[in-house]
């Protein structure tokens, strides 16, 4: 799909293909790729790099033109919301024209207004780059909210499902950190070559703001990554503790029923009936059940006292250790 835009009153408006200021090729097909390579004399390697999600961000200067590979976040849906990836897009800039090659539609504001006053193709490119940074910020806010929801679920869970989802978020943030850091280096390189490509003062000012916002975005992603990494360690321990508590409770149940099973196994119902044949059945078996309940109750009291005794001795040892 091809979209043509022109600069009009410091904004971008659609136009025909006769004399556009910006040409955007979104997921170009075979015919559109041939047009780019043959008619527009676009390098085939640069074309493949623009659509390669594993390509590293970089910028190349040639005479008065600029070729830029930029990393952007992938759009996510409800089905894969826990997998935030990055992809690449290419910008080929000259004084009169900006060519954009991307695998997905460019991210824009809901009202489609530009982030700055666009007076040149370079300003349009900066506007697209700034929109990418805003896209990163939105994904980071989404990741933060998802991590909070997962944390509350993990607190009451004993499985690994939510931990695996949290690990997916941590992996996504690693990709984001790498992509944003590479973008930051590209922006600084463009700033260092501002005189060479004849950037206007307004363009330089907006580029400086772009560098600051991108650095802050990297810092925020780094903070989220550190927090989630720490949460993964803590929540993994919490799941193990929950499992240990469950096993402990099941062990207590087994200990309570152990003497009851022993008594029932040694005596047996037939032997008990022989021993109590002179006593009415309703009285003998009621006494048997009451006796079993008393044994279970005494066993439970013994287990609780044993646990409390261990806890008290542990507290006293801790007090002696730190006194």
* Residue boundaries of the structural domains of the chain: 2-240, 245-322
pLDDT score of 322: 43
153 vs 49, 64, 156, 166, 169, CA distance in Å? 41, 55, 6, 11, 15
Query: Side-chain half-sphere of 279: how many Cα atoms within 13 Å?
Result: 13
Comparing CA positions, the residue from 70, 215, 49, 186 lying closest to residue 128 is 70
First to last CA, the chain: 75
CATH class of 2-240: alpha beta
| Residues forming beta bridges with residue 12, ordered by sequence position | 7
Do 185 and 214 touch, CB atoms closer than 8 A?
A: no
pLDDT score of 7: 87
Instruction: Please report which helix (H) or strand (E) contains residue 172, including its range.
Output: helix 161-192
Do 303 and 254 touch, CB atoms closer than 8 A?
A: no
Instruction: Please report which helix (H) or strand (E) contains residue 155, including its range.
Output: helix 121-155
pTM comes to 0.73
Q: Which residues contact 228 (CB under 8 A, 6 or more apart)?
A: 143, 147, 166, 169, 170, 173
Q: Which residues contact 51 (CB under 8 A, 6 or more apart)?
A: 27, 28, 88, 90, 101, 102, 103
Question: What three-state secondary structure class fits 45?
Answer: helix
The CA-based angle 76-77-82, given to 5 degrees, is: 70
Do 7 and 119 touch, CB atoms closer than 8 A?
A: yes
Helices 161-192 and 201-275 cross at an angle (nearest 10°) of 170
Q: Which two tokens stand for residue 10?
A: 């410091």
pLDDT score of 158: 58
Classify the C-alpha dihedral 203-10-107-19 as positive or negative: negative
Distance CA 177, CA 13 (A): 34
Classify the C-alpha dihedral 238-239-242-248 as positive or negative: negative
The CA-based angle 93-32-197, given to 5 degrees, is: 5
Distance CA 211, CA 97 (A): 23
pLDDT score of 215: 94
- Positions of the chain with pLDDT lower than 50, given as ranges: 110, 321-322
């Amino acid at each position: 799909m091809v979209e043509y835009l022109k600069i009009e009153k410091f904004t971008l408006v659609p136009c025909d293909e006769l004399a556009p200021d910006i040409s955007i090729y979104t997921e170009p097909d075979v015919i559109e790729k041939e047009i780019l390579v043959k008619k527009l004399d676009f390098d085939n390697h640069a074309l493949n790099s623009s659509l390669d999600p594993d390509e590293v961000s970089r910028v190349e200067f040639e005479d008065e033109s600029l070729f830029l590979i930029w990393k952007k976040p992938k759009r996510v849906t409800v089905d894969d919301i826990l997998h935030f990836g990055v992809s690449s897009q290419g910008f080929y800039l000259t004084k009169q024209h900006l060519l954009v090659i991307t695998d997905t539609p460019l991210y824009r504001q809901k009202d489609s207004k530009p982030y700055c006053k666009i007076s040149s193709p370079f300003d349009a490119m900066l506007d697209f780059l700034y929109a990418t940074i805003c896209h990163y910020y939105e994904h980071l806010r989404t990741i933060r909210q998802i991590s909070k929801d997962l944390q509350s679920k993990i607190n009451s869970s004993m499985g690994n499902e939510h931990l695996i989802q949290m690990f997916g978020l941590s992996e996504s943030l690693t990709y984001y950190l790498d992509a944003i850091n590479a973008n930051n280096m590209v922006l600084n390189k463009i700033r260092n070559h501002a005189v060479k490509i004849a950037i206007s003062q307004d363009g330089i000012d907006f580029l400086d703001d772009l560098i600051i916002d991108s650095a802050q975005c990297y810092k925020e992603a780094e903070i989220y990554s550190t927090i989630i990494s720490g949460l993964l360690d803590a929540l993994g321990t919490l799941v193990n503790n929950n499992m240990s508590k469950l096993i402990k409770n099941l062990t207590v149940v087994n200990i309570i029923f152990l003497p009851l099973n022993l008594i029932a196994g040694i005596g047996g119902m037939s032997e008990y009936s022989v021993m109590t044949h002179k006593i009415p059945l309703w009285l003998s078996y009621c006494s048997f059940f009451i006796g079993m309940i008393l044994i279970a109750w005494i066993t439970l009291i013994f287990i609780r006292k044993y646990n409390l005794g261990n806890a008290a001795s542990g507290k006293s040892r801790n007090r002696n250790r730190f006194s």
